[in-house]
């Protein structure tokens, strides 16, 4: 019998509590992450939305940047909105701290500022199979402008790439934790469980 996974949620700022609620509703343990030692016992990690520039500075302040990069080489991460930005290797404008673990370039605030927030259906697919639409909540949302050869597109909105997967790393531009549709978190937990059952050599 597979043990219950423990998923960390980066709790430096942003909407981490909503992710914890969603993960717990799916039967996972959820733990707040603020310091490098908090990563030790985790099976996966969620990097929530927020303000990516501030998040990056706080990661550096708490000496989390390098430990998070190392974590990303070994265990699954789900990044949402600002979390997608943090996972990216580059942004289209400006300089800011990034983890640089996904071969994508993102455009920050691609759909407008806070006042331009909106909800719209997103076309979702896992493993190349369509999952229908997903209720996308876009708040100062980024979009993916460039994807590398190892990156799979898992979500689109009006032709724009708003969700990607590279191996055990997933990034989406919207906020799946703000609705009641748990499919994306469930898919992430399936990925975590698959790596628990089949640890890398």
Q: How far apart are CA 70 and CA 101, in angstroms?
A: 9
Residues with a catalytic annotation lie at: 81, 175, 177
In what helix (H) or strand (E) does residue 10 lie, and over which residues does it extend?
Answer: strand 6-10
Q: In a 3-state reduction of DSSP, which class is residue 30?
A: strand
Rounded to 10°, the helix 183-197/16-25 angle is: 70
Contact in structure between 28 and 172 (CB atoms under 8 Å): no
Tokens in use for 116?
């331009």
Helices (H) and strands (E) counted in the chain, each on its own, are 5, 12
Distance (Å, whole) CA 201 – CA 188: 21
With the C-alpha atoms ordered 165, 168, 173, 178, is the resulting torsion angle positive or negative? positive
d(CA 172, CA 150): 16
């Amino acid at each position: 019998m597979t043990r219950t996974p423990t998923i960390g949620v980066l709790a430096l700022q942003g909407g981490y509590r909503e992710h914890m609620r969603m993960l717990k509703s799916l039967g996972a343990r959820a733990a707040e992450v603020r310091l490098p030692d908090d990563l030790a016992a985790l099976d996966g990690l969620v990097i929530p939305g927020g303000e990516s520039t501030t998040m990056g500075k706080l990661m550096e302040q708490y000496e989390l940047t390098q430990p998070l990069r190392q974590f990303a080489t070994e265990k699954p991460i789900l990044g949402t909105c600002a979390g997608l930005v943090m996972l990216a290797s580059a942004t289209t404008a400006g300089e800011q701290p990034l983890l640089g673990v996904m071969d994508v370039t993102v455009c920050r605030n691609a759909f407008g500022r806070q006042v331009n927030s909106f909800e719209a259906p997103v076309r979702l697919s896992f493993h190349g199979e369509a999952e229908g639409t997903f209720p996308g909540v876009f708040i100062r949302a980024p979009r993916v402008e460039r994807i590398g050869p190892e990156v799979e597109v898992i979500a689109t909105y009006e032709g724009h790439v708003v969700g990607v997967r590279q191996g055990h790393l997933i990034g989406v531009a919207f906020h799946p934790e703000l609705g009641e549709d748990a499919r994306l978190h469930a898919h992430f937990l399936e990925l975590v469980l698959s790596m628990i059952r089949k640890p890398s050599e």
